[in-house]
Amino acid sequence: EVQLVQSGAEVKKPGESLKISCKGSGYSFTSYWIGWVRQMPGKGLEWMGIIYPGDSDTRYSPSFQGQVTISADKSISTAYLQWSSLKASDTAMYYCVRHRDQLLDYFDYWGQGTLVTVSS
Amino acid sequence: EIVLTQSPATLSLSPGERATLSCRASQSVSSYLAWYQQKPGQAPRLLIYDASNRATGIPARFSGSGSGTDFTLTISSLEPEDFAVYYCQQRSNWPQTFGPGTKVDIK
């Protein structure tokens, strides 16, 4: 069974750093693109960026370029999303998603989400 | 960036009724459009891909149609578990984008 299991909720202060994780299982982790999707409170879905764990090829949506860093450790089948300096506007639910097959694709599996709260 | 517009924002219907949701793209996305369902407190799930193909395990009451810039998700007869928010998403152009969602709630 394909699963994406994300790390737990985080409460941080503005200016702090953060790295959240997404562990894949039940499939060949290195053969599928993994993306991240943001959902701000009460709002819609925004695609942030993507990584191919097989070779660490990483791409970002223009809206998120320079704002976050996506990485992966294929030895432990885990992808990461990190911030170097959080802002209150980063408060959101973050989902990792598996792309079905291609760089531009649909998302056939979703993690359970990681809620990030940034507040002073 | 391709902008997706969904209408209506909210659709109030009763169980057993037919639901028709619309998604319009700012430029042609061919048939590269998907629909997702999101229930409160849950991650979205893929319902329809490439405009008209049901994803694995999705009931036949869900159907999708359209191409180019205009797409429709139809739920033939609403079940209690279908009341949720529905998003469309395109994979035609970088970056892939979502529509703002349509909430289907109980009348």
Pairing of strands A34-39, A45-52: antiparallel
Pairing of strands B10-13, B102-106: parallel
Distance CA A80, CA A100 (A): 19
Query: A3 at the B interface (CB within 8 A)?
Result: no
Contact A89, A68 (CB under 8 A): no
Nearest to A106 among B43, B46, B93 (CB): B46
Alpha helices in A13-107 (DSSP H): none
Nearest to B98 among A45, A63, A111 (CB): A45
Contacts of B45 in chain A (CB under 8 A): 110
> What is the reported pLDDT for A49?
96
Nearest to A47 among B45, B95, B101 (CB): B95
Q: What is the mean pLDDT of residues B12-37?
A: 97
Retrieve residue A17's tokens: 């750093």
Q: What are the DSSP calls for A67-89, one per residue?
A: T-EEEEEGGGTEEEEEESS--GG
Query: A106 at the B interface (CB within 8 A)?
Result: yes
Nearest to B95 among A62, A111, A113 (CB): A62
> Which band of pLDDT confidence, cut at 50, 70 and 90, is reported for residue B92?
very high
Would you give the DSSP letter of residue A29?
G
Query: A87 at the B interface (CB within 8 A)?
Result: no
Nearest chain A residue to B33 by CA distance is A106
Contact A62, B1 (CB under 8 A): yes
User: For B30-66, what is each residue's pLDDT tens digit?
Assistant: 999 999 999 999 999 999 999 999 999 999 999 999 9
**Long-range contacts of B5-9, Cβ-Cβ distance < 8 Å, separation of 24 or more:** B5/B99, B5/B100, B6/B86, B6/B87, B6/B88, B6/B99, B6/B100, B6/B101, B6/B102, B7/B102, B8/B102, B9/B100, B9/B101, B9/B102, B9/B103
User: For A50-86, what is each residue's pLDDT tens digit?
Assistant: 999 999 999 999 999 999 999 999 999 999 999 999 9
Task: Give B55→chain A minimum CA distance, Å.
Answer: 8
Q: Does B91 score more than 90 pLDDT?
A: yes
Q: Does A101 score more than 90 pLDDT?
A: no
> Which band of pLDDT confidence, cut at 50, 70 and 90, is reported for residue B17?
very high
Interface touch B43/A61, C-beta < 8 Å: no
Contacts of A105 in chain B (CB under 8 A): 91, 96
